[in-house]
Amino acid sequence: MKYLQEKARKLDADDELASFRDAFHIPKHHSGNTVYFTGNSLGLQPKKAKEILIEELDDWAEFGVEGHFEARRPWVNYHEQLMKPAAELVGAKPHEVVHMNGLTVNLHLLMVSFYRPSGKRYKIICEAKAFPSDQYALESQVKFHGYQTDDAIIEVEPREGEHIIREEDIMSAIEENADELALVFWGGVNYYTGQYFDLKSIAEAGHKAGAVVGYDLAHAAGNVPMKLHDWNVDFAAWCTYKYLNSGPGSVSGIFIHEKHANNFDLPRFAGWWGHDKDARFKMDKAFKPISGAEGWQLSNAPIFVMAPHLASLELFHQAGFDRMRKKSIALTAFLQEVIEAVAKEHVAHIEIITPSEPSRRGCQLSLLAHGRGKELFNFLQDHGVSADWREPNVIRIAPVPLYNSFTDALEFGKILSSAYSKEHTV
C-alpha cells in the first residue's frame, strides 16, 4: 500500500480545508487519535461550542431574565441567527427555515399540516428500510387518521438480490398509485446504504401525481448538496447532531416552501413562539401565525442547544459547502480505493453497498464483510476506529470533510488489513 501512503500524503498537503480539523476535538484512542468515522451518527464537537455556550451561561448569570433582551446574542430572537446559514446548506430562503424541537417531533408537526388524507387520496409512498423513527411516525399518522398501515403505506424496496433502490422503481410506484397518493415522504440519504436519492425528480413526480412531497434530511443536511426551494419541495426536516456537529440530541431544523408561507388556513398545531412577533407579548387569545417557517414554532428557543449549533454553522459558512463537497467526493473515493486494495490483498469478501457514483452518495460507505460482520466491527473498534454497526450486517463509515483527513482513510486501511492478516484473523 506504499502508493496509497504517498497519495494520502499528497492529498492532505493539497487539502484547502485541512486547517478545519483543528477546530474540532478529536477523541483519543490510547496515545493517538481515534479514526473517527461516525459523523453520520454524532458529529465531533467544535472547539468553539464550549466557548459560545459559556457565554450564554455567563449572560444568564449576569442578566437573568433580561438576557432575553440584554445578552450579547439576545435570546428573544436567537433562532433568527441560524436561519440564513442553515438556508445556505439546504438550498432555501432564510424565511423558509427555522430550528425547533427534535426531528421526529417536527415530522409529526409537519404532517399535521401536510398529510391531509381525503377520500381516495390517503396513501403515503416511502422508502423501504427507512430509519425506524420515520417508519413509526408514518405508521402512527395513518392510524391516527383511521387507516391500516399495510394499506396506506407503500414501501419501495430494492429489487431481489440488490441493495440500492432504483430511481425508476420510485417513479413507477408514484405513477402507479397517483390517484390515491396524499404524500410522498422520502429520506434524502438512506441511513443504511448511504444512497443519495434524486430528490428533485422525486418532488417533480410526486407533484405531478397530485401529492404533497416531504423529506427527512437527517443524513443529508451538511452532507450532500440540496436545493429545496428550487426543487419545489413542500416540507423537510433534519437533525443537527450528525453532519452538522451540534451535540447529542440537539435541535432540529425544518423547511417549509414559501408557497405555503402565508397559507394561514393550513392546519397546524400552534404555539406562542409561532405567533405574530409584534403581538406576541400582548398575550392575545387568537393565534396569528408568523409568515414562513417561523409560524410553525411552538415554544421559545432552547438557547443552550442552539448555541453549539451556531458555532458549527459558522464553520460551515467559513469552509463553504462547494469546497466541502469537492473534498467529500475525493475523500470518500480514496477511502473506497483503500478498502478495495485491502480486499484484493487479502482476498477478502468486502462488499461496498453504497453507490460508487459521487452524485448518488454522500460521504458514507456501508460495508458488508460477508461472514465476519460483527467480529470485524469489534476488531475495528478495539483498534481505534470509531465506526457504526447497523443490524443485521452493515458497518457504516463516514469520512467527514470538515475534520477527517486522507491519512485517516489510510490508517483505517491499515487497521482493516491487520484484521485480515494471519496474526489477527477475525
Distances from the Cα of 101 to the Cα of 46, 251, 258, 262, 305, angstroms: 21, 6, 21, 22, 10
In whole angstroms, what is the distance from residue 44 CA to residue 49 CA? 10
Span of 75-79, 250-254, 279-283, 311-315 with lowest mean pLDDT: 279-283
Kindly tell me if the per-residue pLDDT of 4 is higher than 60.
yes
pLDDT tens, residue by residue, 305-350: 999 999 999 999 999 999 999 999 999 999 999 999 999 998 888 9
* Nearest residue to 400 (alpha-carbon basis) of 382, 416, 417, 388: 388
- Give the burial class of 22: count Cβ atoms within 10 A of its Cβ; 0-12 exposed, 13-18 middle, 19 or more buried: exposed
In whole angstroms, what is the distance from residue 301 CA to residue 273 CA? 8
Task: Decide: helix, strand or coil at residue 408.
Answer: helix
pLDDT tens, residue by residue, 363-372: 999 999 887 8
All domains of the chain, ordered by start, with CATH? 2-33+320-424 (3.90.1150.10), 51-318 (3.40.640.10)
pLDDT tens, residue by residue, 209-242: 999 999 999 999 999 999 999 999 999 999 999 9
Q: Is the distance from CB of 193 to CB of 354 less than 8 angstroms? A: yes
pLDDT tens, residue by residue, 146-167: 999 999 999 999 999 999 999 9
Kindly tell me if the per-residue pLDDT of 425 is higher than 60.
no
Kindly tell me if the per-residue pLDDT of 422 is higher than 80.
no
Q: What per-residue confidence (pLDDT) applies to 280? A: 87
**pTM of the predicted model as reported, rounded to 2 decimal places:** 0.95
Q: Is the distance from CB of 334 to CB of 11 less than 8 angstroms? A: yes
Kindly tell me if the per-residue pLDDT of 57 is higher than 70.
yes
Q: Is the distance from CB of 219 to CB of 191 less than 8 angstroms? A: yes
Kindly tell me if the per-residue pLDDT of 424 is higher than 70.
no
